């Protein structure tokens, strides 16, 4: 085995996504589901001796934007091009005092409020769901945002063209297409689960509204960068630790048709591959996602029921790309020594990499408290063992 790169990052990623053998497995870090918590990042750059001012990519998840020096150190092959809020939306974080505590509150475009305590908060959680007490008639009159507002995409083509012309990297959008999850953000998780059992017509009405947001959003976005981008990221969490979060019948009859409509709409606008994110044991839904037109699944939460890497590769490796699955992020990455990290990565990479169809990443984001030496061991092992013959 010769550890010598013979491809650019983009060539490498496209080979892997087309189920062909690149020179080595592509590596990702820095996306909205493949990122790093600000706390872990702060310690990592100190450990590596890198000077960087921490910028926040995602306030809710408290993800940092990794600097180029970190990305190059870990041989990361993907860079991200993201849309933004429209000019009419005045977002931002407000500080409010409640019950004697200082809170950071962020109201999103759909009216949900995300909050984090100032005294030790690690993430933002939903503190207000605007449709918690709504009727089906209220859905029609609610002021949903305009996904197709062209001011969302100001400057994105210039950003994408600069990356395409000046760098060797594959390009991906940030996460979008959140058709299902936004519904429970707006309704509240408990009430939404009750709705799925007692008033599916309410769920359908709300799902139609989120779909009606995302279709013009992607029309506008792909009008700008559809000829430049390599990967379009969408996602909705469908599963938990042991399997589906809600009835598969409800998914297949009500949620799936709308997801499929969105995927096919995006595919009509660009040749980019469609990347779908769902945490949990999604084994049961992989055939559905393939049927929807999804090309890539993430984060491949190995260690859960039916999520064994060998099982997934054998059953679905010809039809889907696995993006993630690098290590058990719950039970291994935060707790073992670097030598054991290296061995776990070696085993997983050797299972996933044959024939292409694999991009390396941790399972989801690197969380606060993961030792810096373990993060370095994770990516160093991916590079060392990722080369093909």
Give the tens place of pLDDT for each residue, 292-336. 999 999 999 999 999 999 999 999 999 999 999 999 999 999 999
Q: Closest by alpha carbon to 122, among 46, 185, 190, 64?
A: 64
Confidence of residue 228 (pLDDT cuts 50, 70, 90): very high
Six-digit token pair at 3?
């550890």
Note the pLDDT of residue 100.
Answer: 93
Q: For the chain, how many residues are written?
A: 389
Note the pLDDT of residue 126.
Answer: 97
Confidence of residue 75 (pLDDT cuts 50, 70, 90): very high
285 pLDDT above the threshold of 80: yes
Q: Tell which wins on pLDDT, 218 or 121.
A: 218
Using a pLDDT cut of 90, give the percent of the chain over it. Answer: 97
The answer to whether 363 and 324 have CB atoms below 8 angstroms apart is: yes
Six-digit token pair at 17?
């996504």
Q: Across the chain, what does the average pLDDT equal?
A: 97
Note the pLDDT of residue 318.
Answer: 97
Q: Closest by alpha carbon to 306, among 244, 360, 387, 358?
A: 244
1 pLDDT above the threshold of 50: no
Note the pLDDT of residue 120.
Answer: 85
Note the pLDDT of residue 91.
Answer: 85
Domain 9-88+132-385 indexed as CATH 3.90.340.10: no
Token pair 């359908």: residue: 204
Confidence of residue 2 (pLDDT cuts 50, 70, 90): low
Note the pLDDT of residue 240.
Answer: 96
CA–CA gap between residue 80 and residue 298 (Å, rounded): 16
Note the pLDDT of residue 268.
Answer: 98
């Amino acid at each position: 085995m010769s550890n010598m790169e013979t491809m650019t990052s983009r060539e490498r990623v496209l080979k892997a996504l087309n189920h062909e053998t690149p020179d080595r497995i592509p590596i990702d870090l820095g996306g909205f589901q493949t990122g790093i918590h600000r706390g872990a990042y702060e310690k990592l750059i100190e450990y590596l001796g890198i000077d960087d001012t921490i910028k926040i990519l995602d306030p809710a998840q408290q993800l940092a934007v990794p600097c180029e020096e970190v990305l190059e150190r870990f041989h990361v092959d993907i860079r991200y091009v993201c849309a933004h809020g429209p000019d009419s939306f005045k977002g931002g974080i407000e500080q409010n005092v409640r019950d004697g505590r200082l809170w950071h509150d962020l109201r999103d475009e759909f009216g949900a409020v995300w909050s984090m305590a100032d005294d030790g908060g690690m993430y933002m959680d939903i503190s207000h769901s605007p449709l918690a007490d709504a009727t089906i008639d209220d859905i029609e009159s609610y002021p949903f945002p305009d996904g197709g507002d062209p001011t969302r995409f100001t400057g994105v083509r210039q950003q994408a063209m600069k990356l395409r012309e000046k760098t060797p990297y594959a390009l991906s959008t940030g996460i979008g297409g959140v058709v299902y999850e936004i519904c429970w953000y707006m309704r509240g998780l408990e009430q939404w689960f009750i709705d799925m059992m007692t008033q599916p017509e309410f769920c359908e009405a709300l799902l139609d509204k989120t779909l009606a947001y995302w279709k013009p959003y992607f029309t506008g976005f792909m009008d700008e960068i559809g000829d430049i981008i390599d990967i379009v990221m969408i996602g909705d969490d469908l599963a938990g630790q042991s399997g589906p979060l809600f009835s598969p019948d409800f998914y297949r009859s009500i949620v799936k048709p709308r997801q499929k409509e969105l995927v096919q709409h995006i595919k009509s606008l660009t040749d980019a591959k469609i990347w779908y994110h769902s945490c949990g044991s999604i084994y049961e839904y992989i055939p559905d996602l393939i049927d929807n037109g999804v090309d890539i699944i993430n984060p491949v939460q190995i260690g859960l029921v039916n999520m064994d890497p060998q099982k997934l590769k054998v059953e679905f490796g010809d039809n889907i790309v696995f993006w993630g699955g690098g290590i058990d992020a719950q039970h291994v990455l935060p707790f073992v020594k670097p030598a054991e990290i290296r061995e776990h990565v070696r085993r997983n990479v050797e299972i996933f990499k044959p024939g292409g169809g694999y991009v390396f990443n941790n399972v989801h984001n690197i969380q606060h408290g993961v030792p810096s030496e373990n993060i370095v061991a994770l990516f160093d092992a991916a590079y060392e063992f990722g080369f093909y013959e």
